[in-house]
Structure 1
Amino acid sequence: MSLAIPPRDPEVTPKRLLILAVPALAIGVLSALVLWALNSVAAVLDSALWDGIPGALGVDPSGWWIVLVLTLTGLAVGLVLQFMPGHGGSDSATTELVEPPQPLGNLPSLVIVTVLALAGGVSLGPENPIIAVNTAIMVAMVARLMPSVPMQLTVLLAASGTIGALFGTPVAAALVFTGIVAALKSGGALWDRLFLPLAAAGAGSFTMRLLGQPAFAFDIPVYGAPQALDLLTGTIVAVGAVVIGLAMLAAFPIVYRAMHSLRYPVIVATAGGLLLGLLGLLGGPITMFKGLDQVGELLQDPDKYDAGQLAAMAGIKIVALLVAASAMFRGGRVFPATFIGVALGMLGHALIPSLPLGLAVGCAVVGVLLVVTRDGWISIFVAVAIAGDITILPMLCIIVLPAWLLVSGAPEFRIAAPKQDPASASTPSPPVAAD
């Protein structure tokens, strides 16, 4: 018995791929530069808010200053959402990682609220809004300069370049878009269809490396030789992380509905900022911001934290993520979810000392990200990248299977978009988890 190989798409030729590789590489570089610029502006504001101003005033930035800054951040974001043209674009709680391009008029307000959230300590990452920004810019540019390039391809390339830049490697984008490409009905070789997105992702990640911003650089002991018992204990940690993630998923529409009952964006975001400030005061700066730098802080000295502290940090970050995503802040959920997974993995290692730290962290990251992304490949990739250890990959490829069975029937980790934009409507439609 042989498998039939679908015929090559006649439109996908080496010559066409070579010609389109030029704009693909350019899109990857430009996507990385936009990400770098946004991160740089956010870093300057971050430094002023959390170092410069409190230092000049002689204020402890880990005390009541957290509540003040996050409340004012919420107020500023709310004012932009309420009154500025574009209203910050689509609510991140209702969007997937890759969406159709937004109007260019949305971008100024979207960039402002994203920078404010990143600098102000909101528990959301840059992935959703920066992909939206790059997608809109690249679609407009390519439509003007190369109108023959399909819009869908430009969207794919812009998202690929941005994901490659975000994670510092084109492999992340290749894994993310494997599922999209596999879903295409037309025939042809998979690598023909991955060729251009991989070119954009490679250019994006290479550009970020040239700019001196590697995404993942953590020091965790190498796992070493696999042990049969680790399959059992690793599965327990992964399944436990999935259960916690599913509880977070169930709470998402409830928190979203509660926050949006305040009706007006300026009130919703200000109240959200106040709540995030109180959570930051409770959990400290390590439970704030997008979470990637804080993962490094956690893993720098794992023995510094006991099981109770790790459970508390994971719990506070979960609540902070739900509040931030529900209070109309613009940002992604992958990075804060990764922090939650790392904290839960360290908790698993603390409770099961025989389970190596790297594998425990990888299993928990897989469990949480399966719920948040509904993508096994990207969950495994991030887990291996965080652990920095390829030897855990075979274990994760087995452990992910029972975890996926728990997730496969669950809804997506986003809110079904209301019929009208809540930024311009006084009574948004009741939210539900997206099926």
Structure 2
Amino acid sequence: MPGTPQQQDGGPTLHDVLMHKGYLGLLMISGLVGIPVSLAAFGFVSLEHQLQHWIWESLPETAGYSQAPWWWPLPALLLAGLLVAPIITRLPGHGGHIPVDGLGGPPTPPIAVPGVVLAALVCLPLGVVLGPEAPLMALGGGLALLAVRSAQRTQHPQLVAVLGAAGSAAAISTIFGNPLVAAVMIIEAAGLGGPQLVALILPCLLASGIGALVFTGFGHWTGLAIGALSLPSVPKSSIPDPGDFLWGVPLAAVIALLCVAGQTLGRRVKAFTAQDTARRTAVRTVLCAVAVGGSITAYALLTGRSPEEAALSGQITLANLAADPAAWSIGALLALVLCKGLAWSIALGSLRGGPIFPALLLGAALGIACAPLPGFGDEPALAVGLAAAAASVTRLPVTSAVLGAALLGSDSVDAMPLLIVATVTAFITSEALRNRTKHDAAPAGRAEGAGTG
């Protein structure tokens, strides 16, 4: 074929984009940025994990308890509220984005990174039922932008977007258990196409791969635990049968309803805490933290189990649930969904952290609770729960399917058809519910147009 083909719209071809000197330089910078960003992310997650262990295991043992007592969440969450309120109201960046707003938005400016880190280290170890993924993305994006001078950030907004995305991908590359999940998430969330899509893919993949290498190496060399999202043991999978789809499709729709309801409540909590004065915001933030603590306490009282299971982000409890579903009664699983779900909804609109990890636990718990249904089982129930919760909360169906497959490991090959059907069902259901909510909230005669925004 003579010459280099051009796109029909006259824009640059993929070859033009990849061979451009500026893009090759950007690709090199992205790879180099992955190293310091991953080191910072490793330090953050390791410190958060150690604080979490100290607060929920070491301190209760020192006080003479075999596990955290039922009342432990009340002072822990009160302290979290008192510490995070001034960070939200006084520091640049307000401690990071509000979790109910999702994971998107512009890259975090470097000046806001200290507040994001402080808010996360205050909230997550003390049990605000949120995950580390959103603070990690903000940390990675903000640190990546330090490689670009402020003048360049003003003149080249596309450079800011790509480097911020690469930094975010590097930071969360292994907290999801697989660097490909991070890259796919950033790509799908960006909503780009054509050469722009590939131009974003390669920096994210390179930064994620290097980030995973750094995480893995430092975890092996130091022996420190990072608490990455993974399921060391899952129920043995088999090829899905009609019964799995018969129960799996409505279960995915119910999980979508649960997640959308939680996010709807979270938006109302956000309106409650977002006041015209910093003092009112601080007071209501503390009240919400105490309400989260009350929900976790209710779980411990109802089940007699450790409040730690409901208080933390969810990856540890999820791994335990997947490894031994029989250790949980249906009542305990439903109590976890109810109490942790309420706590998650309140935290989404008031505290700081990520929404995905706890949602995965809620979906898995509801799925395992439905596993005894005739013709169902633990394996398909877990697959449906993971995929449906991820699709409902992230609104990224491809990412959700990849994440579910990564968590199930080698068993995902047989479960993939059910994973995909559950993902699509939950995604369509959640979008329909959100659109209905927007329609009902619009003034009479002025319903909002359809969409996923």
State the shift of 1:123 in Å: 0.7
One-letter code of the match for 2:53?
S
One-letter code of the match for 1:320?
A
- For 1:18 and 1:248, locate their aligned partners in 2 and report how far apart those are by CA, in whole Å: 43
What is residue 124 of structure 1 aligned with on the other side?
130
- For 2:232 and 2:375, locate their aligned partners in 1 and report how far apart those are by CA, in whole Å: 21
- After TM superposition, list the pairs within 5 Å mapping 1:161-200 onto structure 2: 161-180=170-189, 183-184=192-193, 187-188=194-195, 191=198, 193-200=200-207
- For 1:401 and 1:395, locate their aligned partners in 2 and report how far apart those are by CA, in whole Å: 10
Q: Is the 8 A contact 1:279 1:316 kept in 2?
A: yes
One-letter code of the match for 1:274?
V
One-letter code of the match for 1:256?
K
After TM superposition, the structure 1 stretch with the greater mean CA deviation from structure 2, 361-370 or 8-17, is 8-17
Equivalent residue in structure 2 for 1:231, among 234, 238, 245: 245
Superposition CA RMSD, Å: 3.0
Q: Is the 8 A contact 1:286 1:297 kept in 2?
A: no
Q: Is the 8 A contact 2:166 2:207 kept in 1?
A: yes
One-letter code of the match for 1:236?
P
What is residue 429 of structure 1 aligned with on the other side?
none
Q: Is the 8 A contact 1:165 1:206 kept in 2?
A: no
One-letter code of the match for 1:27?
V
1:65 matched to 2:72? The reply is yes
- After TM superposition, list the pairs within 5 Å mapping 1:385-400 onto structure 2: 385-388=406-409, 389-390=411-412, 391-400=414-423
Q: Is the 8 A contact 1:99 1:132 kept in 2?
A: no
Residues 35 and 411 of structure 1, relative CA distance in 2, 3 Å threshold:
farther
- For 1:145 and 1:189, locate their aligned partners in 2 and report how far apart those are by CA, in whole Å: 23
Query: What 5-or-longer segments of structure 1 have no aligned partner?
Result: 416-433
- After TM superposition, list the pairs within 5 Å mapping 1:130-145 onto structure 2: 130-143=136-149
What is residue 386 of structure 2 aligned with on the other side?
365
TM-score, with length taken from structure 1: 0.84
What is residue 222 of structure 2 aligned with on the other side?
none
After TM superposition, the structure 1 stretch with the greater mean CA deviation from structure 2, 192-201 or 397-406, is 397-406
| Fraction of identical pairs, as percent | 22
Equivalent residue in structure 2 for 1:380, among 401, 405, 424: 401
- For 1:170 and 1:317, locate their aligned partners in 2 and report how far apart those are by CA, in whole Å: 28
Query: What 5-or-longer segments of structure 2 have no aligned partner?
Result: 1-5, 220-225, 300-306, 439-451
TM-score, with length taken from structure 2: 0.81
What is residue 210 of structure 1 aligned with on the other side?
217
1:333 matched to 2:333? The reply is no
- For 1:358 and 1:401, locate their aligned partners in 2 and report how far apart those are by CA, in whole Å: 19
Q: Is the 8 A contact 2:34 2:170 kept in 1?
A: yes
* CA displacement, residues 383-418 of structure 1 (integer Å, 9 cap, x when unaligned): 223333222112222333333322233449xx9xxx
* CA displacement, residues 239-287 of structure 1 (integer Å, 9 cap, x when unaligned): 2211222322332223333455796233123212211222222222101
Number of aligned pairs?
408
* CA displacement, residues 135-174 of structure 1 (integer Å, 9 cap, x when unaligned): 1121122337998882121112112212313213221123
What is residue 355 of structure 1 aligned with on the other side?
376
- After TM superposition, list the pairs within 5 Å mapping 1:16-415 onto structure 2: 19-58=25-64, 61-83=68-90, 85-86=91-92, 88-93=94-99, 95-143=101-149, 150-180=159-189, 183-184=192-193, 187-188=194-195, 191=198, 193-212=200-219, 213=226, 214-260=228-274, 264-283=280-299, 284-327=307-350, 329-350=351-372, 352-388=373-409, 389-390=411-412, 391-411=414-434
State the shift of 1:310 in Å: 0.8
- For 2:72 and 2:189, locate their aligned partners in 1 and report how far apart those are by CA, in whole Å: 44
One-letter code of the match for 2:30?
A
- For 2:23 and 2:86, locate their aligned partners in 1 and report how far apart those are by CA, in whole Å: 46
State the shift of 1:373 in Å: 0.8
